[in-house]
Amino acid sequence: MAAVSVVAVLAVAPAADGFNAGQPHTAGTVWGHERWTVKTLQDRAAREVSFRVRKTSVGVLRGVRDPHKGRDDPRTGRVERRTYSVQARLVSFGIEHDSDVHLVIADPRNRQETMIVEFPSSGCTTRASSPARQKMKLARTALVAACGRPGNRFTRLGGTATVTGVGFYDVKHGQTGVAPNGIELHPVTGFRLRSPSC
């Protein structure tokens, strides 16, 4: 599948940590908006994130209490400071306007129980720590190697994978595959295909 050009979005006021969400960063990439530094491990509290992997499930994560995060809220609570690993059915994926790969996964036992996991572009994570950037980059590379390069429209997938990433509560605005509590693994820090193909 051919790579897709990314459409720039309108500028917004700089965030408290100096980022200008929605602005072009490196060639072909733009930053996102809601809680952008948190979801890309570039916020001040990112140093508190543990990369020790905790095994869980899509169903358990979907059942965590919804904290109703706002678009500018900082990293809070234990969930957003922990790294989780789930076994998941792959549902669909695509490239978003902020250059993230948006992957919808489901509980292997129930395809209707979905959540979102996202793979940032390395061009948009330059202020994350080197170890964190490497994990994000390798995870996205592994996804593309296994399932192909996503386009700007969602492509249906099949198969199963182990997906590892940092807990994150996104602002709910009708995203494809969003969990009822807005929880995601964002960023994804590890991806391993378990089935023969996607």
Q: Give pLDDT, residue 13.
A: 30
Q: Give pLDDT, residue 32.
A: 52
Identify the residue with better confidence: 112 or 23.
112
Give the range among 9-13, 25-29, 44-48, 171-175 with minimum mean pLDDT: 9-13
Summarize the confidence of residues 178-194 as an average pLDDT: 97
What percent of the chain clears pLDDT 90, i.e. is strictly above it? 71
Q: What is the pLDDT of residues 89-136, one digit of tens each?
A: 999 999 988 899 999 999 999 999 999 999 999 999 999 999 999 999
Domain-wise residue ranges, the chain: 36-193
Phi, psi of 147 (to 5 degrees): -115, -5
Q: What is the pLDDT of residues 133-157, one digit of tens each?
A: 999 999 999 999 999 999 999 999 9
**Confidence check: pLDDT of 43 > 70:** yes
- The overall average pLDDT reported for the chain is 85
Q: Give pLDDT, residue 15.
A: 37
Q: Give pLDDT, residue 33.
A: 63
The class of domain 36-193 in CATH terms is mainly beta
Q: For residue 39, give every residue at least 6 positions away whose Cβ sits within 8 Å of its Cβ, in sequence order, or none.
A: 32, 118, 120, 168, 170, 184, 186, 187
Q: Give pLDDT, residue 36.
A: 87
Identify the residue with better confidence: 188 or 174.
188
Identify the residue with better confidence: 20 or 198.
198
